[in-house]
A and B are shown apart, each in its own frame.
Chain A
């Protein structure tokens, strides 16, 4: 299958970006250097093209019910301009995807939402929503608009200044997870105070054809998916398909440390199974760790106890540019999950000492 391309692929190429396949998209992985881009976001500001993220629009009299039944969080808590992080689980409570649900201004008097599934999951999530709507006989329109919107993130301690200057309307009064329509150089876009870096910042959902105008409105370091990954690992954020994967590493939100997204007082697919998991407790948990010995932990490396017995595997790992230390995450039995526990990560046949740490690894907003 040919890769999907973001609207500004040509512009990024001219800027000297390197590209990588991610979720079926051909995305910039690095513009200058992952370290430079990473440092810019921690110390100043950077802009990311995340147009590979999906956008699914849901409206109609039963839109709220449909989202409530398919996401683990409580969408009835959302006023217009609010958003929330949620997981999408199956009947067994296994995470199918994670998402942010935005409540847009009402359309035709009906509650209206936009939710953002991960790259490559938009078609499956659209189908999931349509199938359940039909099965439950709900009245809602579900529209996959992934090909209609670009998405950019402006992140870092100076992001608010850049965004405040660029937007025609006031925007800095938005608190974290709040959003509204704003105009950037004449282009209306949906701006949310959200992000995936651990820094203050905004994400913009922009009409595909107007992408260049909005991208060019922010004079800061362009950043690729490489820095996005090192930043999110430092912040302890999970990556779908890596820190949980419906096929290869099925996990419940409780195992993944996402219990805060699970509202058992709502009715949703997977709720009953998750109530049981919560009562019985989990056997394994996602933990953060720091390598004490030299080496770089990578996805798939074994985690052992100090006797060399394999007890888990690394889901994400990197050399942290901020800490100048090797950090990572992985699932281990709860008896090894306590911060301070010594474990080992097997790097090319050699056991490297590691210590369990609480996440985030760096201070975040």
Chain B
């Protein structure tokens, strides 16, 4: 089975993606991760205004069969969360890189993105 890994964004080894647009970093989980989890039934996210820390857990995604922590790709302040996921968590399965996004971070230091895996490096990891 092959998985999408769009190369417009960076990845964490723990399967989150980070997409920077106009100084804001959007975060979600990869196609591979949603497939491994199976049917997502519950997402727990921080509140807007909360601070998150790079590589620290910021929330939880639960599928029918598993519970998995979510890790922040960069440190900063949460400026938006995708609260549509509370009623429609299946969006994480249906569109992990689009409608299934989870939160947006105003990063303390954008250069932290350089610490993350490129799409090619992430593809090698999940191969």
Contacts and interface: CB of A to CB of B under 8 A. Distances in A.
Interface of A: 16, 29-30, 33-35, 226, 230, 294-296, 298, 318-319, 321, 348
A362 to B, nearest CB: 16
Given A295-B42, A319-B41, A34 B64 contact: yes
B42 A34 contact: no
A256 B58 CA distance: 38
Given A29-B65, A34-B65, A319-B64, A226 B38 contact: yes
23 contacts: A16-B1, A29-B65, A30-B65, A33-B39, A33-B93, A34-B38, A35-B39, A35-B64, A226-B38, A226-B65, A230-B64, A294-B42, A294-B86, A295-B42, A296-B41, A296-B67, A298-B67, A319-B41, A319-B42, A321-B39, A321-B64, A348-B44, A348-B60
How many B residues touch the partner, as a band? 10 to 19
B99 interface: no
Contacts of A319: 41-42, 62, 64
Interface of B: 1, 38-39, 41-42, 44, 60, 62-65, 67, 86, 93
A319 to B, nearest CB: 4
Nearest to A318: B64
Contact of A296 (B1, B38, B62, B86): B62
Interface centre among B1, B39, B64, B65 (most CB of A within 10 A): B64
A34 B36 CA distance: 12
Given A294-B86, A321-B64, A34 B1 contact: no
A16 B1 CA distance: 8
Contacts of B38: 30, 33-34, 226
Contacts of B1: 16
B87 to A, nearest CB: 10
A230 B63 CA distance: 12
Nearest to A294: B42
Given A34-B39, A34-B63, A34-B65, 8 more contacts: A29-B65, A34-B38, A230-B64, A296-B41, A298-B67, A319-B41, A319-B62, A321-B64
Nearest to A298: B67
A30 B66 CA distance: 13
Contacts of A298: 67
Nearest to A20: B65
Interface centre among B42, B62, B65, B67 (most CB of A within 10 A): B65
Contacts of B62: 296, 319
Contacts of B44: 348
Nearest to B44: A348
* Among all A-B residue pairs, the 6 with the closest Cβ atoms: A319-B41, A35-B39, A34-B64, A296-B62, A226-B65, A296-B42
A77 to B, nearest CB: 38
Contacts of A16: 1
A319 B67 CA distance: 12
Nearest to A227: B64
Nearest to B1: A16
Interface centre among A16, A35, A230, A318 (most CB of B within 10 A): A35
A29 B38 CA distance: 11
A16 B2 CA distance: 12
Contacts of A318: 64
A319 B93 CA distance: 16
Contacts of A226: 38, 64-65
Nearest to B62: A296
A282 B42 CA distance: 36
